[in-house]
Amino acid sequence: METLKFKTNIKCGGCVATVTPHLNAMTGLEWNVDTDVADKVLTVTGDGENLQEKIQETVKKAGFQAELI
């Protein structure tokens, strides 16, 4: 298991709801977004090759940005 943290522009509950189906479609992931901090941190725990790139692509498809921190 690998845990990655990303700075995002996922700002509110509505944004989380938008990205939820995209991230939930990725099997074997546990994730959450802390919208109470300035960097709106997305924390993802999972396995797989190129996990960072896959998360960033998935978040981008949902209309948001994710930068590894």
pLDDT score for 15: 96
Question: Check: CATH 1.10.533.10 for 2-68?
Answer: no
pLDDT score for 27: 87
Return the SS3 of 26: coil
pTM: 0.93
Residue 44 near residue 31 (C-beta atoms within 8 A): yes
pLDDT score for 48: 83
Residue 14 near residue 58 (C-beta atoms within 8 A): no
Residue 6 near residue 50 (C-beta atoms within 8 A): no
Averaged in consecutive runs of 10 residues, what is the pLDDT profile of the chain (69 residues)?
Answer: 96 96 94 96 93 96 97
